[in-house]
Amino acid sequence: MKIHNFSAGPAILPASVIEEAAAAVAEYQGTGLSILEVSHRSKEIVAVMDEARQLVKDLLGLGDDYGVLFLTGGASTQFFMSAMNLLNEDETACYIDTGTWSSKAIKEAKIFGGVNVLASSKDQNYNYIPKDWKVPANTKYLHITTNNTIYGTQFQALPETDSLLVADMSSDIFSRPFDANKVDLIYAGAQKNLGPAGTTLVIVRKEILGKVTRAIPTMLDYQVHIKKDSSFNTPPVYPIFVCLLTLRWIQAQGGLLAMQKQNEKKAALLYDEIDRNPFFSGTTAVEDRSCMNVTFVADSPAHEEAFLAYCTANGISGIKGHRSVGGFRASIYNAMPYESVVYLVELMQNFKPA
Ligand SMILES: *Cc1c(COP(=O)(O)O)cnc(C)c1O
């Protein structure tokens, strides 16, 4: 039976990427070696790193004023690394608290400087994006989580601010076009919409760095990694290689506009069924619905259990909601084929609980 992977992360990758990744493990580009055993200083791997960086810039329309890094430690390391590199003790950063990941970023930033939580949707278990807020003057940066993987909410547009803008885009980077030049620092764990677990993409406007007075440990200093092309120490070569394969795939599909069209089509199909089907309902404010993580609940605990069993029996994997929300979460990242969403919707239509 074909398994349809709706997991939130690590998540689905394009079938062709999996195939190419597997082939490279067996043997890489006539080297007679597996990609797993090739030196990161070899010309083959330097070429992988160079192409991956360039493709990120090409897809996002960024120039040489940005550094592109593939680091380790997950997006969770970026929660503190961003503040450590940008925020002096006597400065203030503003955060919008839209869920668990934002809250964790807030906690870490407080170690390094002033933190002003401008708005939060915690009062309603993060089922919406707060809208009535304004960034005060003298704010060092505004931090947002563009897509809230757990709750299924998403900023529909980047906010305006005179301060620097920092964005955790772990679960929606490359899902649609956006003005990347408006963002000064982007970070994204690869394992949602870009590649396997093991590397984190960081995109940073170079001129904002080097302005804090504290000492920064070498491995946590963005400027060091920029200077060394993400190879100050041994980078996670294989996860970066799989990211490169995905980036090539995105480009071959037609880039971010093509991704957006496909993602919106998939999301519309699924949300329409959730809204139509009496056994299910959505969990978030309609205007804030995510195109990547579609959350919904059943009309009773018994039906929830029954639908989950029905999904499992029919080859749907990873659709159980996060424990803090319950219900269901269908993650329909770039690599999720439209046909798999059609298949899930058909299961919802055919679901006839006893
Ligand atoms: C998954 C996730 C994280 C955490 O990523 P790790 O790589 O596991 O540290 C942070 N932010 C968002 C939005 C996420 O979806």
Q: What are the sequence ranges of the domains in the chain?
A: 15-253, 255-350
Asked if residue 291 has pLDDT above 90, the reply is yes
> What is the tens place of the pLDDT at every residue in 217-270?
999 999 999 999 999 999 999 999 999 999 999 999 999 999 999 999 999 999
Asked if residue 181 has pLDDT above 90, the reply is yes
User: Could you tell me the fold of the domain covering 15-253?
Assistant: Aspartate Aminotransferase; domain 2 (3.40.640)
CATH number of 255-350: 3.90.1150.10
101 alpha carbon – ligand 1 mean position (Å) = 7
Mean pLDDT, residues 196-211: 98
Which ligand 1 atom sits nearest the alpha carbon of residue 99? Answer: 13
Which ligand 1 atom sits nearest the alpha carbon of residue 145? Answer: 13
Structure-token pair, residue 128: 């919406």
pLDDT attached to residue 272: 98
pLDDT attached to residue 140: 98
Q: Which residues are known to be catalytic?
A: 101, 168, 192
189 alpha carbon – ligand 1 mean position (Å) = 6
Mean pLDDT, residues 322-344: 97
Asked if residue 343 has pLDDT above 90, the reply is yes
Q: Which residue has the tokens 């900023």?
A: 155
Mean pLDDT, residues 134-155: 98
Write the residue with the smallest CA distance to atom 4 of ligand 1.
75
pLDDT attached to residue 245: 98
User: Mean pLDDT, the chain, as a whole number?
Assistant: 97
Mean pLDDT, residues 150-177: 98
Asked if residue 171 has pLDDT above 90, the reply is yes
CA dist., res. 283 & res. 327, Å (int): 9
Write the residue with the smallest CA distance to atom 8 of ligand 1.
74
Mean pLDDT, residues 82-87: 98
Write the residue with the smallest CA distance to atom 14 of ligand 1.
170
Q: What percent of the chain has pLDDT over 70?
A: 100
Test site for ligand 1: of 98, 145, 149, most ligand atoms within 8 A of the Cβ: 149
30 alpha carbon – ligand 1 mean position (Å) = 36
74 alpha carbon – ligand 1 mean position (Å) = 7
246 alpha carbon – ligand 1 mean position (Å) = 19
Write the residue with the smallest CA distance to atom 3 of ligand 1.
75
Which ligand 1 atom sits nearest the alpha carbon of residue 171? Answer: 15
Q: How many CB atoms lie within 10 A of CB 308?
A: 17
Mean pLDDT, residues 72-101: 98
Residues with CB under 6 A from ligand 1: 9, 74-76, 101, 145, 149, 168, 170-171, 189, 192
Which ligand 1 atom sits nearest the alpha carbon of residue 150? Answer: 15
CA dist., res. 348 & res. 151, Å (int): 20
Test site for ligand 1: of 98, 171, 325, most ligand atoms within 8 A of the Cβ: 171
* All residues at 6 or more sequence positions from 100 whose CB lies less than 8 Å from its CB, including other chains: 126, 150, 324
104 alpha carbon – ligand 1 mean position (Å) = 10
Test site for ligand 1: of 170, 171, 202, 333, most ligand atoms within 8 A of the Cβ: 170
At 68, the pLDDT band (50, 70, 90 cuts) reads very high
Write the residue with the smallest CA distance to atom 12 of ligand 1.
170
The answer to whether 324 touches 273, Cβ cutoff 8 Å, is no
The answer to whether 328 touches 297, Cβ cutoff 8 Å, is yes
Backbone angles phi, psi at 251, to 5 degrees: -65, -40
Question: pTM above 0.85?
Answer: yes
Domains 15-253 and 255-350 share a fold: no
pLDDT attached to residue 354: 81
Which ligand 1 atom sits nearest the alpha carbon of residue 9? Answer: 1
150 alpha carbon – ligand 1 mean position (Å) = 10
Which ligand 1 atom sits nearest the alpha carbon of residue 74? Answer: 7
> What is the tens place of the pLDDT at every residue in 11-63?
999 999 999 999 999 999 999 999 999 999 999 999 999 999 999 999 999 99
pLDDT attached to residue 267: 98
Asked if residue 271 has pLDDT above 90, the reply is yes
CA dist., res. 20 & res. 16, Å (int): 6
